[in-house]
Chains A and B, each alone.
Chain A
Amino acid sequence: MRRLLALALGTAALLTACTSTQDTKTETDNAPRPGTLRVLASSELSDMTPVFDQVRKDTGITIRPTYMGTLDAVDLLAKGKVDGQYDALWLSSNDYLRLRPDAAKKVVSETSIMSSPVAIGVKTATVTALGWQPDKVTWSQIEQAVQDGRLTYGMTDPARSNSGFSTLISVASALSGAQSALTDADVTKATPRLKEFFKGQKLTSGSSGWLAEAYQRRGNVDALLNYESVLKGIPGLTVIRPSDGVVTADYPLTSLASTDTTTRDNVRRVTTDLRTAALQKLITTRTHRRPVVTSVPPASGLDTSRRRELPFPGSRSVADGLLESYENKLRRPSRTVYVLDTSGSMAGDRLSRLKKALTALTGDFRQREEVTLMPFGSGVKSVRTHVVSPGDPQAGLDAIRADTKALGADGNTAIYTSLEKAYEHLGSGGDTFTSIVLMTDGENTTGAKAKEFDGFYGQLPAAQREIPVFPILFGDSDKAELQHIADLTGGRLFDAQKGSLDGAFEEIRGYQ
């Protein structure tokens, strides 16, 4: 019993770690409380806070969300790790869930609350330049604009984000020319076209929030692919639902077989409340999602002309195959430098945790990915680059593991000097997603100072300034210092002090 509990708490801690520091709504204490529903939810639902407040006023029930990507949530459910930890599930869609019988059997009922289609938000100037009529644009036109080099875009990582996954399905269904649900053959046939299409992807992100920030900071990306509700919240975008079809999220609030009568009754009461005209109106006004009751019209600005609904694949092999294809073949590969603090203070437990986390991460590297390990102390100790080649992925992964094993702790902490070396190593990014991960357990003690690094960064060519640093807060590192690095370079800070180092490395994958 005690072991079970420990395992459960471990899971809760991991979940906390997996959520970003900025939109975290979780509490480390995941214990059940009367009148509170612990809901495992899609991260876009963080915009629902005003609605949750109203639900509390109406029903006395508090919704306590933990945000997670669909695929991770479904995996957790299938493995039984949701049992006893959460009272309900609220993903953007249960389509993927239903493809996994081990997860589907854990669900007792689901009720759609609102909907939002996948769309493309294009800079208004670009729409004009392309001569597009927003209500008539097709996926093929978008593809053509990408091929002509007239359109670049950003989207979230399909392996970690609901919106990214739905986007991938939309694009694949539309460009494959499939007239009904995608099959493996459709995906194979569409691969060359998809590869061309994804050459236009210049931004990737583990979350919709950071995608919007990075888009605004970059200024040179023309469009974003995401849910209509997300795009409507970003100023300056013309939101286009391609006329040849979209995948729509319908946000089913889902009750679980593992819960008791009281909990299910609370889910039912919340569901009933969410479907009242008043809340449907609040939802569409505040979040730009579409109501599912006939008495409430969609908020102004949501175009009501109809679109074909592209079917979601009917088998797991198609869905997973498409995802694998995206990761390993279709998307631009990533190039990453891991700037790893192996100063004296890392000796012992910290170093072994780093080694464990890095080794675990090798299971997640994609084909064609270039990984550079740059351990540092008083300066950079070594620069070792490995490529996970499609011909022999194991060789590259084994080499990364061997280098990880050989890491030793000594010396001072030259954060900025090492970062400068990382930028120099990467040069201009080429046709890749390029980024730097900085893991340190302390403050900068030697080498270049923060000010000097700011100057160094400011003088980099524009293309190199687009390379973000993703610092990880660990051990005794200084949050303000690392936050500054993230802000300066357009990266994002990840917290491994509250959560685990494994969790932080894992979450950063969505941004690489």
Chain B
Amino acid sequence: MLGSASTLPLVRRIAGIVLAVLLIGGVVAAVVAGRDNGDKGTATKTVRGVIGSEKADFFADPDVVKALAAKGFTVKTETSGSWAMEGRDLKGYDFAFPSSQAPADALAAKYKVRQPLPRPFYSPLVVVAHRSAAQVLADNGLATLDKSQDRGTLKMGAYLDAAKADRTWQQLKGADKHGELTGTLYIATTDPETSNSGALYLAAASYVANGGRVAASSADVARTAPLMHKLISVQGAQQSSSDGPFRDFISGAGNPLVLVYESQVASLLLEKQPVGDLVVLYPDTTANSDHTVVPLTPEGRALGELLSSEPTLRKLAVRHGFRPQGDTAEFVAATAAHSSYLNQTLTGVRQAPVPTSTVLHDMARRARG
């Protein structure tokens, strides 16, 4: 039973945050079915979009295809790194669907798209840890654990102080009981220059390091650059997609603390996959992956609005671990059985604003360099 369910999350993340736009194999080709209401004159419209790869499985989900077809849409998608969309000629596409607001705003400005942009769903960045690591963090004032022990809060200020001081696991009390907890304490992320989650990590960390203000100028970037560089350089080689580090974590390898999207954990839980002694740590200041539609044609805008408002599609987004915008009720209801792992209402989680695309690029470049 579990076995048959296990393919879904895998499909979802096959494509990494990519370096170039690719034609996705899983082009969504809805069967143009006659509509039940007998509205014979309505043929489906084909809309084409460039999407962030973590949504590829959502659009490939047969139930999503069906729900879109019922509303008269056949959606064809190609995946692209959210940060690579700016470098693309999007002529001929109806919409772009990056995973973050900053690249969406940059695209909207470039193509003179009317604001506001539809933002159908989002997912906060979280840190996954095994119980041992989470407990050590809690015992040393770097995190607090909820009663369930399956989730907790990572204190970003304390964590950044530890990073600044090159704190190692060995220096934390209680770590010596766990052989794997040695070496510099850090959160493993993807490459911020190519991957959305890595870039959003810098957005959240720089916001905290900058005294609760979003980095807006080159002076802000310069001020936080040494710490950002430290956060990235200690990691050595980084992966280009958030799937990689998460898989390493699951297979028992990899770093004790890994930055992932909440949706990655939620979809695993919703499929009733065993998660072992995984603990979800919500940073007290985090950044959201705001999946934002940039409509390039009226059809694109109609699709964006449909994804935001249509109840079936919102429900299907939850199936893939995303949080529909505007109302937490759907997510809360669907994840009721997993509330020990998920902070359903994101209580106590502050949301860091994301710097503009230009600032974030600059920050990532200096952090890697």
Taking Cβ atoms with an 8 Å cutoff, the residues of A that contact B are 94-96, 98-99, 104-105, 107-112, 114-115, 117, 179-182, 243-245, 248, 250, 252, 255, 257, 260-262, 264-269, 271-272, 275-278, 290-295, 298, 304-314
Contact = CB atoms under 8 A, between A and B. Distances in A.
A245 B237 contact: no
7 contacts: A98-B191, A99-B237, A115-B253, A248-B254, A277-B2, A311-B235, A314-B235
Contact of B22 (A104, A264, A266, A313): A264
Interface string B1-14: 01110110011011
A272 to B, nearest CB: 5
Contact of B248 (A181, A248, A264, A298): A248
Contacts of A306: 130, 132, 178-180, 252
A243 B176 CA distance: 12
Given A109-B22, A180-B234, A181-B235, A295 B274 contact: yes
Contact of A313 (B183, B237, B240, B274): B237
Contacts of B79: 109
A250 B244 contact: yes
Nearest to A115: B251
Given A107-B19, A312-B237, A314-B237, 4 more contacts: A179-B184, A181-B236, A268-B24, A309-B254
B213 interface: no
A318 to B, nearest CB: 9
A401 to B, nearest CB: 38
B25 interface: yes
A111 B253 contact: no
B116 interface: no
A195 to B, nearest CB: 23
A294 B14 contact: no
Contacts of A311: 183, 234-237
B88 interface: no
A268 B244 contact: no
Contacts of B27: 261
A310 B254 CA distance: 8
B247 A98 contact: no
Nearest to A262: B25
The prevalent SS among residues of B at the interface is loop
Contacts of A179: 166, 168, 182-184
A210 B104 CA distance: 54
A182 B181 CA distance: 18
B334 interface: no
Nearest to B178: A306
Contacts of B239: 94, 98
Given A115-B248, A294-B250, A308 B182 contact: yes
Nearest to A247: B253
A295 B2 contact: yes
Contact of B247 (A257, A277, A292): A292
Given A105-B19, A181-B236, A112 B248 contact: yes
A308 B238 contact: no
Contacts of A277: 2-4, 6
Given A110-B241, A314-B233, A104 B19 contact: yes
Contacts of A109: 14-16, 18, 22, 53, 79, 241
Given A108-B18, A115-B248, A294 B10 contact: no
B279 to A, nearest CB: 14
B250 A293 contact: yes
A105 B20 contact: yes
B23 interface: yes
Contacts of B94: none
Contacts of A264: 22-25
B237 A98 contact: yes
How big is the B interface, by class?
35 or more
List 8 tightest A-B contacts by C-beta distance, closest first.
Answer: A265-B25, A181-B236, A311-B236, A277-B3, A180-B234, A275-B10, A306-B180, A248-B253
Nearest to A116: B253
B25 A268 contact: yes
A405 B293 CA distance: 68
B168 A261 contact: no
Contacts of A182: 236
Contacts of A115: 247-248, 251-253
Nearest to A260: B23
B276 A294 contact: yes
Interface in B202-256: 233-241, 243-244, 247-248, 250-256
Nearest to A99: B237
Given A244-B179, A272-B11, A305-B179, A257 B237 contact: no
A133 B244 CA distance: 32
Given A276-B6, A290-B252, A108 B19 contact: yes
Contacts of B179: 243-244, 305-308
B157 interface: no
A479 B256 CA distance: 53
A276 B7 CA distance: 5
B312 interface: no
B25 A275 contact: no
Q: Taking each of A96, A244, A294, which has the highest tally of chain B beta carbons within 10 Å of its own beta carbon?
A: A294
Contacts of B241: 109-110
A272 B7 contact: yes
Contacts of B254: 248, 309
B268 interface: yes
B346 interface: no
Contacts of B15: 108-109, 268
Contact of A252 (B23, B181, B184, B244): B244
A310 to B, nearest CB: 8
B237 A95 contact: yes
B21 to A, nearest CB: 9
Interface string B181-194: 11110100001000
Nearest to A313: B236
B19 A181 contact: no
A456 to B, nearest CB: 50
Nearest to A243: B179
B273 interface: yes
B109 interface: no
Given A111-B14, A294-B274, A304-B252, A180 B237 contact: no
B248 to A, nearest CB: 6
Interface string B94-134: 00000000000000000000000000000000000010100
B247 A112 contact: yes
A312 B236 contact: yes
Contact of B20 (A108, A271, A292): A108
Nearest to A280: B6
Given A109-B53, A314-B236, A272 B10 contact: yes
Contact of B16 (A111, A180, A262, A298): A111
Given A248-B248, A292-B251, A314-B238, A181 B233 contact: yes
Contacts of A310: 183
Contacts of B25: 261-262, 264-269
A58 to B, nearest CB: 11
Contacts of A305: 179-180
B32 interface: no
B26 interface: yes
Contacts of B336: none
Contacts of B24: 261, 264-265, 268
A293 B248 contact: no
Contacts of A313: 236-237
